[in-house]
Structure 1
Amino acid sequence: MPTLHVCPLSRLHETVEAVGASHVVTLINVATPVERPAAIDPERHLFIGVSDIVEARDGHVVPAREHVERLLAFVRDWPREKPLVIHCWAGVSRSTAAAFITACALDPERSEEEIADALRAASPMATPNARLVAVADEMLGREGRMVAAIARIGRGADVAFENEPFELRLG
């Protein structure tokens, strides 16, 4: 069964090694340096330079359709033989949104609520970026169900600095 693993930047290398990942998705501010794990070939690492915001702010990159398009193209090409690691700075918002989006895209028959519940069970701190989820909801034709499912699970538990790595199984 294919698995997604979500972690903060500080735990990227150890998570890739521990789970034997073949692909990595990075969602982080444009200027943040990210060293690609040695086990990941460059073509198997997607870097999306985006800020963790929901509306435009000077000096930041608001999540947009082009970011979700790149994510969807990448995860749809992921062969699913080995795990995929998705990370952002803290492993709380952008990466959890991308994991939720990935699960919805790769398992279109599975309900948004079931996926959101699995996300919450896997990570009490997950607080998916609402803008990324809304853009994906529209692109995937989920008619507001993704947005509603994430709103229903609510904001995750407050985190001191970063989330613990966690796994989300695909259906």
Structure 2
Amino acid sequence: MKTLAISTLTICGIDELPGNSAREVTHVLSVLDPDRAELDAFGAYGEHHRVTLRFHDIIDPRPGQIMPAPEHVGEILRFGEGLQETAAARVKGHLLVHCHMGISRSTAAMLTLMAQADPTEGEDALFARLREIRPQSWPNSVMIGFADAQLGRQGRLTAALGRHYAHQIEAQPKFRTWMNDLGRRREIEMAV
């Protein structure tokens, strides 16, 4: 099991950002809605490298909203390449990935980064590690599908995502109602 060439991994939502300011975060991947104002919370952080992506947390097209796209996942993978390239210069590091609530886009991004960093790690093991980092994770299925293709996982990440959803529904039954109310029935149906 490899890590992301970084010693600490955190996933959170916007409201949790202030509580992470003293944790020596060195790298931030922000995934925000396109119309969201810039966040003030990072003013309290020390020196860090930050990349911001802007798209909505949806799995089907909606008028006026931006779907996750292959290019967004490509940017996440380039961010991961940067982490690998700068690893030798770091004694330690702390990667924080966040989205609005720290449940869907951010967990999909972190899973993508973990799968990229360790191409031989089994998909179910990657999702188990993700649950250790963020127990309430419900990765965006569109993003995972793009990551699966771009990482050459041949559908294995998507299949493991279905098993992850089944695990999450069993562990936290509220997800079934919550995701259904958000128009994400297709993800519930993926649960094996």
Which one has the bigger helix percentage?
A: 2
Kindly state the Cα deviation for residue 95 of structure 1 after the two structures are TM-superposed: 0.5
Kindly state the Cα deviation for residue 109 of structure 1 after the two structures are TM-superposed: 1.5
Could you tell me which amino acid in structure 1 is paired with residue 104 of structure 2? S
Kindly state the Cα deviation for residue 122 of structure 1 after the two structures are TM-superposed: 3.7
Kindly state the Cα deviation for residue 105 of structure 1 after the two structures are TM-superposed: 0.5
> Segments of 4+ in structure 1 off by > 6 A?
none
Q: What is the SS of the residue equivalent to 1:86?
A: strand
Q: Is 1:12 the equivalent of 2:23?
A: no
The aligned counterpart of 1:65 is 70
Pick the aligned partner of 1:53 from 58, 64, 81: 58
What root-mean-square deviation, in Å, do the aligned CA atoms of Structure 1 and Structure 2 show?
A: 2.0
Q: Is 1:107 the equivalent of 2:100?
A: no
Pick the aligned partner of 1:153 from 154, 164, 183: 164
Q: What is the SS of the residue equivalent to 2:42?
A: coil
Q: What is the SS of the residue equivalent to 2:102?
A: coil
Q: What is the SS of the residue equivalent to 1:154?
A: helix
The TM-score, its normalising length taken from structure 1, stands at 0.84
The aligned counterpart of 1:27 is 31
Q: What is the SS of the residue equivalent to 2:116?
A: helix
Structure 2: state its 5+ residue gaps.
1-5, 179-192
Structure 1: state its 5+ residue gaps.
162-171
CA distance, structure 1, for counterparts of residue 133 and residue 75 of structure 2:
25
Kindly state the Cα deviation for residue 124 of structure 1 after the two structures are TM-superposed: 3.2
Kindly state the Cα deviation for residue 15 of structure 1 after the two structures are TM-superposed: 1.6
What is the aligned length? 158
